Amino acid sequence: MGKPTGFQEFNRELPSKIAPEERVKNYNEFVGLYNEDKLNQQSARCMNCGIPFCHSGCPLGNVIPEFNDAVYRKSWEEAYEILSTTNNFPEFTGRICPAPCESACVLGINKPPVAIEEIEKHIIEIAYAKNLVKPTAPLIKSGKKVAVVGSGPAGMAAAAQLSKAGHSVTVYERDDRPGGLLRYGIPDFKLEKWVIDRRVKVMEEDGVVFQCNTEIGKDISMEDLSRNNDAIVLAGGSTIPRNLPIPGREFNGVYFAMEFLKQQNKRVGESPITTAEIFVEGKDVVVIGGGDTGSDCVGTSNRQGARSVRQFEVMVQPPQQRTQNMPWPSYPMLLKTTSSHEEGCERFWGVNTREFLGDENGNLRALKVTDVTWETDVLGRPIKFSEVEGSERELPCQAVFLAMGFVHPQHTGMIEQAGVELDERKNVKAKEGVYRTNVSKVFACGDMRRGQSLVVWAISEGRETARKVDEFLMGHSLLESKDAVSAFAY
């Protein structure tokens, strides 16, 4: 424990941000770093609890009190070793994770929780600055070849761990650069892409091969991939977006969120854009969907110079504090105001979109919407909604982004050729803890297996899948499981 009285002496503080009116002028990250004294104070707030619930709150099982203690003592190599034991990519989670560990922080019962996410980010950035992040693959290889399909966080984590185990790993990516959702889903103002490139370079030094512009099931058949590898990991993500099939869906100006976000990321990264330009300068924008993807559309629209930005959510407005139905240390569904909302956005809850309205040229001109009320169960959970009589109205709008989540992975091509079973939600069926499909040497992890989820869950699944692949190939595995690491921490 860094300082026994730290949680009493210091309040939670986050690093400074560039002002909204300035940061919307570009796509750069805008969150600063702690100075040395502030970092020391924030790590001192960790109480090293007898039962640190942050362990279970983190899908990776990060050993949080221990690395906080090392940060307090300025033992940077120790802090990095502790963190990297459970998390391959703290530079990603330290920027874009919703930090379920902080929701489970014991200090959070009656005070603001420890700033775990920011401390994580500082540990890895200091580690890079001090040249502590180095290749880990052994010189003697196993002689086994593994193909990882998908270079998002799950695929990258699986590849990093399999390389660490001594296997030859090739990561196949259908886009022009590796990173998956990190590259072409998360805006640069939340995660600049040099952060991904820096990590890819370390993995390449470890011997991992990234083969981009290659779609399995199209450019390479699953049969050929299986013939040339001892194991295959499917980590392609959940990529089919949830649609809103109401009248007028065909009008120009109605887009899926990822069409918009991917194109802008390509524009910033100076990659070729092969689809029709989506640009909202001077337009009234509506984002349908209240999650992080919707928030990213808000921030991107503001940077493109939209005239107005509204965000609709059909659910009721979440509470600002925990209720009796959200007891600590469970992850609470609270009202979240993101940095993109701070930059300008009018938010609406309990709104149902009935129809897209267009002009004579087939372009979107407005939305027809109604207010709704929800019927709830005894625990206060919404069951079904009914429209408020007389609330129907039109709202001017020339661009709509559908950000209502993703339903399942793409089935055509790779999954159909692989012959793997699907579960009831049409994800690839592979039992948690085993990650092996019905096809002998084919494994699955991340959103492709569990459905749309968090980056931190993707990394966790990639790591655990790599351990099971290693066991499959070698009969045993020396790769760490998160449960073993967390148990050791106690």
Q: pLDDT of 307-338, one tens digit each?
A: 999 999 999 999 999 888 888 988 898 999 99
Residue 485 in this model has a pLDDT that exceeds 90: no
pLDDT at residue 487, rounded to an integer: 55
Tokens describing residue 35: 């100075």
> Which pairing describes strands 308-313 and 382-387: parallel, antiparallel, or unpaired?
unpaired
Q: How far apart are CA 298 and CA 340, in angstroms?
A: 6
Residue 247 CA to residue 356 CA, distance in Å, equals: 6
With 80 as the cut, is the pLDDT of residue 380 above it? no
> Average per-residue pLDDT in the chain?
95
Residue 206, helix vs strand vs coil: coil
The two tokens of residue 181 are 């959702």
Share of the chain above pLDDT 90, in %: 89
Is-contact 198 92, C-beta < 8 A? no
d(CA 455, CA 152): 9
**Packed helices 116-129 and 76-86: angle between N→C axes, nearest 10 degrees:** 110
CA dist 234 and 40 (Å) reads: 41
Asked whether residue 482 carries a pLDDT value surpassing 90, the answer given is no
Mean pLDDT across 53-65: 94
Which pairing describes strands 351-358 and 364-376: parallel, antiparallel, or unpaired?
antiparallel
For the stretch 460-486, what's the b/e string if a residue is b when 16 or more beta carbons lie within 10 angstroms of its beta carbon? bbbbbbbbbbbebbeeebebbbbeebb
Half-sphere exposure of 246 (CA within 13 A, CB side): 14
Both structure tokens of 282: 């001077």
Asked whether the beta carbons of 447 and 438 are under 8 A apart, the reply is: no
For residue 157, give the amino acid letter. Answer: A
Q: How many residues does this entry show for the chain?
A: 490
User: What would the two tokens of residue 266 be?
Assistant: 């390509």
Q: Report, as an integer, the average pLDDT of 442-454.
A: 97
DSSP 383-449: EEEEEPTT--EEEE-SEEEE-S-EEE---TTHHHHHT--B-TTSSBP--TTT-B-SSTTEEE-THHH
- Side-chain-facing half-sphere of 369: CA atoms under 13 Å: 21
Question: What's the rounded Cα separation, in Å, for the pair 273 and 284?
Answer: 24
Cα 245 from Cα 235, distance rounded (Å): 29
| Confidence (pLDDT) at 187 | 98
Q: What is the C-alpha separation between 413 and 484, in angstroms, rounded?
A: 38
Please say whether the dihedral angle defined by the alpha carbons of residues 214, 216, 218 and 222, taken in this order, is positive or negative.
positive
Q: For residues 281 and 160, give the distance between their C-alpha atoms in angstroms, rounded to a whole number.
A: 41
Residue pair 117/93 in contact by the 8 Å Cβ criterion = yes
pLDDT value, residue 57: 94
Question: Residue 292 above 70 pLDDT?
Answer: yes
Report pLDDT for 20: 97
**CB count in 10 Å sphere of residue 438:** 12
- Distance from the Cα of residue 309 to its chain's centroid: 24
Q: How many CB atoms are closer than 10 A to CB 122?
A: 23
Residue 197 — φ and ψ, nearest 5°? -60, -40
- For 134-184, how does the pLDDT look when each residue is reduced to its tens digit (9 = 90+)? 999 898 999 999 999 999 999 999 999 999 999 999 999 999 999 999 999
Q: What is the pLDDT of residue 489?
A: 53
Q: Say how many CA atoms lie within 13 Å of 395 toward its Cβ.
A: 27
Note whether 356 and 363 are within 8 A (CB).
Answer: no
User: Rounded to whole angstroms, what are the CA distances from 383 to 170, 255, 312, 403, 461?
Assistant: 46, 28, 19, 21, 31
- Is residue 378 over pLDDT 90? no
Strand partners, 321: none
pLDDT (average), residues 35-50: 94
pLDDT classification of 86: cutoffs 50, 70, 90: very high
Structure tokens, 256: 């899926």
Task: Find how far residue 71's CA is from the centre of its chain.
Answer: 26
Q: Mean pLDDT check: name the lowest of 213-222, 351-360, 475-484.
A: 475-484
In degrees and rounded to multiples of 5, residue 64 shows phi and psi of -75, -50
User: pLDDT-derived band of residue 490, with 50, 70 and 90 as boundaries?
Assistant: very low
Q: What is the pTM of this model?
A: 0.95
Q: 329 preceded by cis ω (within 30°)?
A: yes
230-279 pLDDT, tens digit per residue, is 999 999 999 999 999 999 999 999 999 999 999 999 999 999 999 999 99
Could you give the CA distance from residue 253 to residue 271 in angstroms, rounded to a whole number? 23
- Cα–Cα distance, 305 to 117 (Å, whole number): 31
Mean pLDDT, range 281-297, rounded to an integer? 97
SS3 196: helix
Nearest to 79 by CA among 14, 127, 33, 45: 127
Confidence (pLDDT) at 484: 62
How far apart CA 131 and CA 134 sit, in angstroms, is 7
Q: Alpha-carbon distance 171 to 173, whole Å?
A: 7
At 266-280, the pLDDT tens digits run 999 999 999 999 999
